[in-house]
């Protein structure tokens, strides 16, 4: 009994030390203006830290609590991917069905897109001009006016909400319910996610409102409907439902966890299955000035949820620091993120000016921002690439290869940019370099094999 008591005291002391270390990290990060939001940390299946810090809106009058809901950006797309698989398990669709089977009013290109292409963002659907769209009908009309796809479905990857819209419309068509009703009745209620809500508005109580660093509040409106806002507690219930296969079975989970290629998104973001168990799960999302990150390792009973209504593009840095604390390792205090500082330049300036601004920032604020990671410029490059600013993206990726010449990942990113521009020779050159540096890069091997085939 004495030994058991000593073990209990040691465990409690370790838990208190962990809580204190995480709390110190979060308090300092908040004090530096780098985090405003909610955090939930589960370790070995037990809650070790829960905190809401900062303000519920731009007025800075209402403190956040863990009862506030947050938009979670792209993570909310897990609800439509799961809904599709629920209907599949009911025998009401196949992921190999053409989209035209359920949405026959779309142009002829819908006959070539499979439901699976929507889930893997390989449909070839172009991104719409979302700033000119205010509702689902306008978005659908815009899609109907598209004469052709950007590429043959299943051959390339392009992440955009055109795929999201059609997923949700297919769920509505098959179920005979609005997407909002389907999520509420078939998912939120059975999982007892009682605080969550689909498509909250400015009058929804306990809804965190997102805002800029200048304390300008963003509206809650979105070009398309179907976005679920959650509290930290409900978010954890959702993750547990995925791990326990409460709504869909392991085969269906694997279907929407397996991406088109490594480091690409799928219905559940990313992760790994271990047999018929969900081993790991990671997904991040951004919407307006909201950002969210979920990381889970079911093998160690570890889940981390971070949600903010004041986007700083640093949730992975915070998450990595907390993971190191949990593992008893040294950690780095999160810094300001270059992407945030250069956002205006990225939106409007050519690539050369973006790099000049990056170098000036690095010279004038070497310790204030995170310049140590290859992901800093890689992230900026992908923002440009997703806007089809191919030359600007190539310039940024190329510069990143000079900073990190031994990283297979940065050469892979540069190769992808050349490939999407249509320059197969430079794509092949950089895929080969990526594979030399990272022989385990299976996606690069496939790309090289494809590029070497005669036209």
pLDDT of the residue at 14: 56
Please work out, in degrees rounded to the nearest 5, the angle formed at the alpha carbon of residue 332 by the alpha carbons of 328 and 337.
145
Closest C-alpha among 272, 239, 242 to residue 257: 272
| pLDDT mean across residues, the chain | 93
* Residues ≥6 apart with Cβ < 8 Å to 132: none
**What does DSSP assign to residue 219?**
P
Please state which of the ranges 11-25, 230-244, 368-382, 413-427 shows the lowest mean pLDDT. Answer: 11-25
- Cβ contacts of 140-144, under 8 Å, gap ≥ 24: 140/165, 140/169, 143/106, 144/105, 144/106, 144/107
Torsion of CA 261, 264, 269, 273, to 10 degrees: 30
Sheet containing strand 228-230, edge to edge, reads: 70-71, 228-230, 197-198
With 0-12 CB in 10 A as exposed, 13-18 as middle and 19+ as buried, what is 257?
A: buried
pLDDT of the residue at 455: 66
Instruction: Reply yes or no on whether the pLDDT at 6 is more than 60.
Output: no
Q: What percent of the chain has pLDDT over 70?
A: 96
- What whole-number distance in Å separates Cα of residue 268 and Cα of residue 282? 8
pLDDT of the residue at 207: 98
Q: What percent of the chain has pLDDT over 90?
A: 85
226 contacts 63 by C-beta, under 8 angstroms: no
* Residues ≥6 apart with Cβ < 8 Å to 241: 191, 247
For residue 153 the two structure tokens come to: 């479905």
Instruction: Reply yes or no on whether the pLDDT at 328 is more than 80.
Output: yes
55 contacts 62 by C-beta, under 8 angstroms: yes
Enclosing H/E stretch for 351: helix 351-364
Show me where the domains of the chain are located: 73-326, 338-452
197: left (phi over 0), alpha (psi -120 to 50) or beta: beta
Per-residue CA distances from 20 to 10, 13, 14, 50, 317 (Å): 15, 10, 10, 12, 19
Instruction: Please tell me the chain's helix, strand, coil percentages from 3-state DSSP, rounded to the nearest 5.
Output: 50, 15, 40
Instruction: Reply yes or no on whether the pLDDT at 454 is more than 90.
Output: no
Q: Mean pLDDT over residues 264-274, rounded?
A: 94
Report how far apart the first and last C-alpha atoms of the chain are (Å, whole number). Answer: 76
The total of other beta-carbon atoms located within 10 Å of residue 108's CB is: 9
**Which CATH architecture best describes the domain 338-452?**
Alpha Horseshoe (1.25)
- What whole-number distance in Å separates Cα of residue 6 and Cα of residue 165? 57
pTM (2 decimals)?
Answer: 0.85
pLDDT tens digits along 60-105: 999 999 999 999 999 999 999 999 999 999 999 999 999 999 999 9
Q: What is the largest CA-CA distance in the chain?
A: 77
CATH of 73-326, one of 3.40.1160.10, 3.40.710.10, 1.10.630.10, 3.40.50.620: 3.40.710.10
pLDDT tens digits along 393-436: 999 999 999 999 999 999 999 999 999 999 999 999 999 999 99
350 contacts 387 by C-beta, under 8 angstroms: no
């Amino acid at each position: 009994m004495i030994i058991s008591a000593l073990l209990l005291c040691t465990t409690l002391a370790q838990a208190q030390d962990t809580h204190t270390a995480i709390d110190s990290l979060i308090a300092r990060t908040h004090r530096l203006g780098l985090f405003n939001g909610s955090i939930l940390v589960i370790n070995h299946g037990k809650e070790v830290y829960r905190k809401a810090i900062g303000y519920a809106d731009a007025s800075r009058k209402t403190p956040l609590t863990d009862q506030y809901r947050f938009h979670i950006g792209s993570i909310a797309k897990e609800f439509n991917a799961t809904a599709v698989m629920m209907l599949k398990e009911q025998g009401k669709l196949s992921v190999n069905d053409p989209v035209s089977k359920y949405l026959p009013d779309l142009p002829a290109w819908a006959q070539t897109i499979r439901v699976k292409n929507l889930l893997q963002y390989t449909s070839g659907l172009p991104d719409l001009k979302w700033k000119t769209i205010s509702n689902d009908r306008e978005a659908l009309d815009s899609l109907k006016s598209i004469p052709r796809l950007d590429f043959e479905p299943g051959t390339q990857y392009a992440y955009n909400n055109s795929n999201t819209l059609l997923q949700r419309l297919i769920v509505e068509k098959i179920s005979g319910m609005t997407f909002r009703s389907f999520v509420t009745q078939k998912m939120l209620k059975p999982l007892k996610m009682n605080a969550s809500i689909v498509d909250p508005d400015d009058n929804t109580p306990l809804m965190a409102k997102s805002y800029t660093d200048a304390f300008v509040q963003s509206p809650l409106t979105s070009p398309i409907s179907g976005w679920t806002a959650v509290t930290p507690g409900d978010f954890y219930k959702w993750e547990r439902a995925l791990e326990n296969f409460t709504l869909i079975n392991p085969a269906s989970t694997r279907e929407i966890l397996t991406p088109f290629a490594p480091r690409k998104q799928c219905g559940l973001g990313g992760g790994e299955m271990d047999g018929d168990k969900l081993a790991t799960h990671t997904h991040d999302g951004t919407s307006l000035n909201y950002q969210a990150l979920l990381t889970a390792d079911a093998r160690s009973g570890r889940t981390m949820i971070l949600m903010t209504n004041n986007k700083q593009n640093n949730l992975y840095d915070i998450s990595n620091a907390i993971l190191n604390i949990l593992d008893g390792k040294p950690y780095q205090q999160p810094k300001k993120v270059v992407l945030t500082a250069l956002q205006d330049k990225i939106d409007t300036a050519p690539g050369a000016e973006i790099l000049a601004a990056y170098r000036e920032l690095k010279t004038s604020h070497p310790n204030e921002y995170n310049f140590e990671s290859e992901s800093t410029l890689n992230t900026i490059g992908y923002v440009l690439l997703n806007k089809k600013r191919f030359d600007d993206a190539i310039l940024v990726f190329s510069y990143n290869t000079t900073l990190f010449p031994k990283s297979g990942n940065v050469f892979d990113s540069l190769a992808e940019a050349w490939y999407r521009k249509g320059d197969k020779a430079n794509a092949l050159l950089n895929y080969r370099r990526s594979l030399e540096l990272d022989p385990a890069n299976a996606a690069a091997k496939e790309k090289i094999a494809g590029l070497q085939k005669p036209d």
